[in-house]
Chain A
Amino acid sequence: MAEPAALRAMRSGDANVGTSPTGRLRERDAIGSSIAVRDAVKRYGSFHAVDQISIDIEPGEFITLLGPSGSGKTTLLNLVAGFQSLDSGEILVDGKPVHNVPTHKRGFGMVFQSYALFPNMTVSQNVAFPLRMAGVDRATAERRVAETLEIMRLTEHATKSPSQMSGGQQQRVAIARAIVRRPKVVLMDEPLSALDRRLREQIQIEIRDLHRTIGSTILFVTHDQGEALTMSDRIAVLNAGKIVQIGRPLDIYRHPIDRFVASFVGESNLIEAEILQKRGSTLTMKSRTGYVFNAESRDTIDVGRATVLVRPERIAVSNEPTANSAPVSVTSAIFLGEILRIEAQMEGGEPLLIRCTDMADRPLPTVGDRLHVSWGAADCWVLA
């Protein structure tokens, strides 16, 4: 795919692009800021919306705040944006405290769930707005707007009014407005949740590519775990006003810290089991139903009972018993296209969710069928 000229110019750090009188907008500055939140607290009455959150975000990082509604993710974003003020704690951008700086002087870009395009302005006027507010001269502003519109493939819509555009186009305008100043930090508040699935996936990719191009630090809020996994450098999972776990998508998915993260991110089987023996980081465990298996764990766990996470796609299924397999009976089986989603019961009645790829020699099981399942030590993760 041919890359727009403007995009190439941006990536090569073309120094003559957008030199403003204040020098604020020089291209080589357009690398993200670090953000540090320290012991941030925001209360509404007795409700702690944000409860002692601390997080360090690297320059240029794409970080996602993931959590159910009411978990405090949007409040945290609003605190960083400056729409709400901290009850205690501090927020540092590039090491400088900003929590007493008003929003409009923080110099961030922001994309809103409702797009929030100014209905009284055209597309290009919307995109030019942050530049005008920064006092950029007209010629420079026009050139920058044109570049940004080209990157977002909106050039032919420049003179339209936002209400004449589709949801996806409106959101691209909103993104253009957020990045036109090459801000060091871009905040995104569930920007894709109003779009349908296909558009959402398309714009997810666009945002990721854009992030690589402009190098800003992106703080992205979503309740969609799939979105978080595909887009982020790191994910911070929030629950009840606290960060439960922070890490790379793969780590969050494979090694969740507790039941909440395990069940909120991806589908999961959580099996209660007794620890029989420990050898290195490998535990030998026995489930309530008597199935004995090995599992990988952190070092800290040794005896007693524990919850074991087994992802549905890690379970091996066969029609005949194999070495160390357990029998299950099928309670439901759904054909989802490339995979089968099977719900089954182990012999003690414990439910088990299985996802396996569709294969020619595997007919769709019917309710009541007996199957044999097994998993290896590396396929399980022992939770605290």
Chain B
Amino acid sequence: MTSASIGVQADRPADLDLVRRLRDPALLLVPALAFLAFIYLLPLIDLIRISVSGPSWSSYFERVFAIPLYWDSLVRTMQISVTVAGLCLLFGYPTALLIHRSRGLAQALIATAIVLPYFIAILIRTYAWMVLLGRNGPVNKLLVSIEILSEPVQLLFNRGTVLLGMTAVLLPLMVLTIYSSVARLDQSLTRAALASGAGPIAAFWRVMLPLTLPGMGAGFLLVFVAAIGFFITPTLLGGPGDQMFAMHITQQADSVTSEGFLQALGVVLLTITLAVVAVAGRFLGFEFIWGGRKLTEATPGKTDLRAADGSRRSLGASAADVIGWPLLRLFGRLPASCGTWTVRIMGGLVIAILILPIIVVMIISFSSASYLTFPPPGFSLRWYEQFFSDSNWMRAFWTSLVVAAMSAGIAIVLGASAALGIVRSSIRGKSAIMLLLVSPIIVPPVVLGLSLYSLFLRFDLVGSVFGLAAAHAIGGLPIVVVILSASLQGVDARLEQAAAVHGASSLTVFRLVTLPAIMPGLAAATFFAFLHSFDELVLTLFLSSAELKTLPLMLWGDINYRLNPVLAVVSTLEVLLVVAGLVLARPVLATSRKAT
């Protein structure tokens, strides 16, 4: 056998070289990168090009900053985003601890209460708050019935509701980010602190808190970055004085005259987002975006980093000594149960905030009243009948299904091959490539929609099902890549080696060992990519036409014009879809939590 192969090698070395190159797993990255280059990078570059195409490169930007409306809105956006991120951190940390500390069924229920809203469309969750806080909503009814209010008042459309709504929408992201850093800690560290004489509060302050600081930082920045680009929630819950920056872009998008100026607005938003992410990535490592660990092994700069860590730590430690110890003695006097109760009360509050609106909406969908009121005067299925008999709703429903299925298909094919490429190849710059693949998560959807709009106009894709599916796949791709590269890394390389040693070809190894091992991840990735497209609204606002209406688009239109229980029906169906998906994916989530 050896002599034969040597002979072949001697005859055609060039061919073999070519074969080897064609078998390089790095090639698997090409389709996804080409896709992103065309539909994601190119439009963004074009957006930047148009924004600097004025009389001088900065003229459009000068206009943006010269008009007080935009400057004020920018400042307001920053204020709101920081407040929301702060609130999320304040309430999210105890909730993450609550999940970590509970056991068995309680843990499963609490975790579900957090994860379920995470996968429900932002539009629907915002709508739920409108129902909850509306004039005939349960909050007003309750306040009147206990005679705090004499008659129902307008609770909506102010800064408070914007903050509440955005915090509620973004809390799951914060909780899950912090939970992953808490769960990663060795449990015996807390025990060691206790055994060393530290009370529960001291153990938390000296051990738990410092070690989860990176997780808190990551959560804060993820929420902040998401909040900057927020559009749906402030539009629906805010008043005229609560305009956020992203809202101006959609408002201006309708007028043709603002070409250039519009793009400059987008570039400003994009620049701020990227700057925050870049600074955060410098300190936390860019892995914080997808909550993963480093893909590359030991980097050469590691020792330097460590030394820097050392000096910073001693600085931090001395600060903690000066302020921390007296504080700690003070806190140490509190009964130990204080901490436990803080965690329980705040965690319970968060769960109520996340789950109650959804439950109220589900109940209202069975209402017999022709307007929104809670509690419903009676129960009926009339709104379900209306939904299923209305051809407009049904058409939108089918359009959404088709678009989401196509989008999930594109995302899974490109994403799976990219994940294989990134995990199995040995090319340099893996981190940079991963960053590029995952970056669509952080680009504000409004900016992405704006940039895609000109591309779609040029190629006459506006209003095409395929175009919309491809656009949705930009956001689906990162989901698939993150889930699948994690499951691929979880595949025991020794199993594959064992199969190969016993005579399996590389394709057989993939089919018999690798594929079954990543199958749960593949199923979860498909579902989440599907859901991403099914829920997508902002890109769709830019890219659909009168003939091509998706379900979220119909919802959006109805929420703005008439707030009736049909929307509650759609919301209930979406919740059921997510619940079904989570139930199916539960074994997957359980195993992937073990792996990461």
Contacts and interface: CB of A to CB of B under 8 A. Distances in A.
Interface of A: 81-83, 102-105, 107-110, 112-114, 116-122, 125, 129-130, 132-135, 159, 161, 164, 174, 177-178, 181, 187
Given A118-B207, A119-B211, A161-B310, A133 B202 contact: yes
A231 to B, nearest CB: 21
A114 B186 contact: yes
Contact of A116 (B189, B198, B200, B325): B189
A353 B453 CA distance: 83
B49 to A, nearest CB: 47
Contacts of B306: 161, 164
A121 B317 contact: yes
Nearest to A125: B317
Given A119-B211, A164-B306, A107 B193 contact: no
Contacts of B314: 122
A118 B195 contact: no
Task: Please indicate which of the listed interface residues B192, B195, B210 has the most CB atoms of chain A within 10 Å of its own CB.
Answer: B195
Contact of A120 (B194, B197, B207, B336): B207
A133 B192 contact: no
Contacts, number: 87
11 contacts: A104-B195, A104-B198, A104-B199, A104-B203, A108-B195, A116-B189, A120-B313, A125-B317, A129-B198, A132-B325, A133-B196
B206 interface: yes
A134 B310 contact: no
Given A118-B189, A133-B202, A103 B194 contact: yes
A181 B197 contact: yes
A164 B207 CA distance: 19
B195 A109 contact: yes
Contact of A102 (B186, B192, B199): B199
A159 B313 CA distance: 11
A164 B303 CA distance: 10
Nearest to A118: B207
Consensus secondary structure, chain B interface? helix
Nearest to B201: A104
Contacts of B192: 110, 112, 116-118, 174, 177
Pairs of residues from A and B, 9 with the lowest C-beta to C-beta distance, nearest first: A110-B195, A116-B192, A130-B196, A133-B197, A116-B188, A103-B194, A120-B210, A112-B188, A133-B198
Nearest to B213: A120
Interface in B179-231: 186, 188-189, 191-200, 202-203, 206-207, 210-211
Given A107-B197, A178-B195, 12 more contacts: A104-B193, A104-B196, A104-B199, A108-B195, A112-B192, A113-B188, A121-B317, A122-B310, A122-B314, A133-B198, A135-B329, A177-B196
Interface string B293-335: 0000000000000100110011001000000010001000000
A129 B196 contact: yes
A242 B197 CA distance: 30
A125 B318 CA distance: 11
A116 B194 CA distance: 12
A129 B191 contact: no
Contacts of B336: 102
A129 B186 contact: no
Contacts of A129: 193, 196, 198, 206
Contacts of A130: 196-197
Nearest to A120: B210
A134 B207 contact: no
